[in-house]
Amino acid sequence: MKTLILTALVLAVAGPAFADDTCNVPTDQWQPREALQKKLESQGWKVRSIKTENGCYEAKALDANGKRLEALFNPKTLESVGADSDDG
């Protein structure tokens, strides 16, 4: 049990650092937000907003089932580097 709690604490502290490292991309190499929006919409997402967060793109959207999603994307590759959803 202690290992589980320790692991959770380490991930909580280190998690944002991983996104920062992954999104450490010079702005001249970034793809436009519209490219990310098009990619997400092709996957059935209804994009509410895309903003910059800690060097990553942060997208807030609804999936095809209406579930709220919040995800971080590398601005160069448009690959997901972290996500959260509303399972409620």
The 10s digit of each residue's pLDDT in 21-73 is 679 999 999 999 999 999 999 999 999 999 999 999 999 999 888 999 999 99
- Per-residue pLDDT, 63: 87
Query: Pick the residue with more confidence: 8 or 26?
Result: 26
**pLDDT higher than 80, residue 86:** no
Write the CB contacts of 72 (distance below 8 Å, at least 6 apart in sequence).
19, 23, 53, 54, 56, 57, 58, 59, 80, 81, 82, 83
- Per-residue pLDDT, 8: 43
